[in-house]
Each structure stands twice: as structure tokens, then as C-alpha cells.
A and B are shown apart, each in its own frame.
Chain A
Amino acid sequence: MERKNRILVVDDQIWVRRMLLEALQFQGYEVFGASSGFEALRLAAEMKPDLAVIDMAIPGMDGLTLLSKLREINLNLRGIMISGDGEKKSVKKALEGGAFAYLVKPFDISSLENLIRRALTS
């Protein structure tokens, strides 16, 4: 049997992280969460995620730096950035920085689920 797609969720807000993890688990993904960039890198080395959902403003290293480091390890990893900041500049920077998509918080969970489905089949 094929292995379940693995998703890493990085957000320092504990209940936001937990909520995203539960919602994605409910969709049948294998999920794990981290609250900082360093924790995320450590976990990623072990778990080899296919996709990461990363908050732009996480402690230690910013979300985009984390994404580029994750992609150094696995070039095929897809990154979906999430942020409370919907400024065009930030969106542009994220997409240019290799993100698959950018979602402005608060968003509808089903939009995230749709995006993930698209990211994993593309």
C-alpha cells in the first residue's frame, strides 16, 4: 500500500497548530507539528514530509528561510505559507521565494485542504 502523504505544520500559536493538525489528520494525512523553525528542521530530517504548512512569522527563523532550508533537503517539498498579513508585497515575496501558495489568516479550512490536494498532485 502507498504511504500516506506527510504534512508538517509549523506555527507557534499552539491552538492554531493543533487545529490545523487535527483538520488535516481528519482528511487522512499523516501530520506532525512544530512551533519553531529549528524544531521543524529537526523533525523534517526524520519524517521527510511531502508538504509543509508554514506560518510566515515563527520564532527564530522566518517562515521563508525555513522553507528554503526544507527545500535544500528535499527539492520536491511543497510549501504553503500562511500569515495574518495580506499585504501584496508579502504575498509576492513568498511566491518568489518558492512557496506553492500563500493563505491569509483567517482562512476557510477547506481552502487549505483544496490547495494541499492540488499541491500534492502537481
Chain B
Amino acid sequence: MSFGDSNVFEDLFTNRSYKISEDPAVFVKEGAHTVVLENKWQDEKRGCQTFNVNTTVVRNKQGVSGVIVYCEDEGKSEDNKGASESLSVIGELAASAVHEIKNPLFSIRGFLQILDNTLSESDKRKEYVKIMISEVDRLESLVKDFLMLAKTQNDSKELVWVCELVREVVELYKNSFEKKKIQFRLQAKDESVFLWANKDQLEQVFINLLQNALEAVEEGGSIDVIVSKKEEKVMIEVKDSGRGISPEVRDKIFTPFFTTKKNGTGLGLFISKRIVENHEGKIYFSSDEGKGTIFIVEFPMRETTVDDRLNLWYNVNLSE
């Protein structure tokens, strides 16, 4: 492709052609750039418009397979800054508070373990110490979940390549799957599925769903993740061959602190639902007791039509 001809960017912004006054090579450099475009048609006021352009280079095993370009009208982005900044301040505060809580919990747990090692099996105090350790563990996982909740306060969004994100999360679970001899399959029916989303939050949703699936299946069970595109929707399904969800608890599983697990906090699905809804998506499930469960997360596909807020992904094959 050639950058010399401004036609390349026709349709990318509006249906008009623009001249780019800055070095157009920015489009192949990864990262954030500012591009000034000059309207070259005569019917409107002639002038420059500034865009924030974010480029991401997409790589596969063969090398670079494309470039994602996200453009944002500068004027618009300013408006939203105030709100999201104050939210991220709250999130950051909560996150550092959580870190402060972790250290004392850690030393308490450690000292209890030392005590545990020094007491003999017949000593009643050993049992007390064991209870204290498991209570500290409970506090720890609560704190961890709150950290997760704090992270959902950060609302900055970026273009997320769904299959790649799912692969990253699955990587975290490789060992646990192997340990439990789980047959895991990832089916990416459509590789080119992108979402405009907060990556950390989305990752958290998949972590929660995979963790639940892992906890639900017996040794040797199976877990499937399917990524697909259906009628303007992005669907991600997490399917397990686990114990299923009993009818009595079906309408409770998304409420905070509802859990049927000994060491559960009951925040996983609550947080996931909140995140998904923040992204204008839906989360639902169907379950067959004793046979398995499937959780489905659905997001509206980002439209690539052009409006005054210019969000789009543009996949260019550089090898051509």
C-alpha cells in the first residue's frame, strides 16, 4: 500500500478525502500519535482537525499480520477525561489500601504457620492455629476480590483482540488444567473479533468464568471456550462438564457473596456481571445438573460506520 496517495484514508474518517499534514508514517509506528488532517474539499470551511491515533501492530507466528488503527476526535476525548480520571483515583486508592492490608495478613499467616510447625498433633492449640490460618486465607481472598473490584473503577478502554486475550488467560490456567487432567479446547470461530473494552476487566471476567469451570469439573472433565460472531454480536462461551448448578440456587449466583464453596467469596460472578454490563453486554448461563454448565458472554459488535466519534479498526495487510 502507499501512503503517498491520500485516497488511502478515504472512508476511514468520513466519506471525504483528507490530506495529512504530518508524516503519515505514524500509521505504521505502534503507539499513540497525533495526526492533523486538512480538509481538502471546498464545500465546508477549510481547516485542520486533530485526531488522536492509536496504532497497534498485530502479530502472528508468521510475523506482522496487520495494523489496528483507532482514531479519536481530540475535542471529544477531552470531555470525558474528568469523570474517568476521578474514578481511576478511587480505584488506585482502593488498590493501595489493599496492598497495605496484604502485608500484615501475610506476617500473621506466616507466624501462625511457624506456631503450627512447633505444636504436636495432640495439642488442642494446633487445631486453633489451623482454624486461624484458614480464616486468614478467607480474609486474603476477600481482599483479593476487592482489589479486583477496585480495578473495575478504571474505565479506560482500548481496542481488544478477543481471541488473543482469551489465549493469554488460558495460558494462566495451563498448569491447573494439566494437574486436573482436563481436556481443554479453545475454538476461535472468528479470529477477527475485536472489542472496544477495558482489557484488565475483560480479562477478569474470563478468569472468573474459567476458575468457576475449573472448580466445577471432576478430574478428567472437559472445558471449552468458544469465541464467535453472531449477528452483530461477539459471543464468548465457557462450557464445562462439571456438576452443574442446582435449580434452587440459579437465581442467586449473581448476587454478591453468594457461594456454595467452602472457600468461595461469592464475588466472582457479581463482579463479572457488573463488568459485562459496563460494556453494554450480557452474561447468562444454562446448566444441566450433573452434566455441565455453559456461561455465555455477549457484547455488541463495535460498528465501523463513521460518526463524529471515530472508533474503528482497520486491518491492513502489510505484506501486500
Contact = CB atoms under 8 A, between A and B. Distances in A.
Interface of A: 13, 15-16, 18-20, 22-23, 26, 84-85, 105-110
Contacts of B99: 84-85
B21 interface: no
Nearest to A17: B107
Contacts of A108: 113
Interface of B: 99, 102-107, 109-111, 113-114, 117-118, 140
Nearest to B136: A106
Contacts of B111: 15, 19, 22
A64 to B, nearest CB: 18
A84 B102 contact: yes
A26 B103 contact: no
A107 B269 CA distance: 25
Contact of B114 (A13, A26, A107): A26
A19 B109 CA distance: 9
What secondary structure prevails in chain A residues at the interface with B? Answer: helix
Most-contacted residue by chain B among A13, A18, A85 (CB, 10 A): A13
Nearest to B98: A84
B110 A16 contact: yes
Contact of A23 (B102, B103, B105, B110): B110
B109 A106 contact: yes
14 contacts: A13-B103, A13-B107, A16-B106, A16-B110, A19-B114, A20-B110, A22-B111, A22-B114, A84-B99, A84-B103, A105-B102, A105-B103, A106-B106, A108-B113
Given A84-B99, A106-B102, A15 B107 contact: yes
B104 A15 contact: yes
B196 to A, nearest CB: 23
A108 B117 CA distance: 13
Contacts of B118: 26
The 9 closest A-B pairs by CB, nearest first: A106-B106, A19-B110, A15-B107, A19-B107, A16-B107, A109-B113, A13-B103, A84-B99, A84-B102
Nearest to A112: B110
A107 B107 CA distance: 10
A26 B111 CA distance: 12
Contacts of A105: 102-103, 106
Contacts of A15: 104, 107, 111
B132 to A, nearest CB: 14
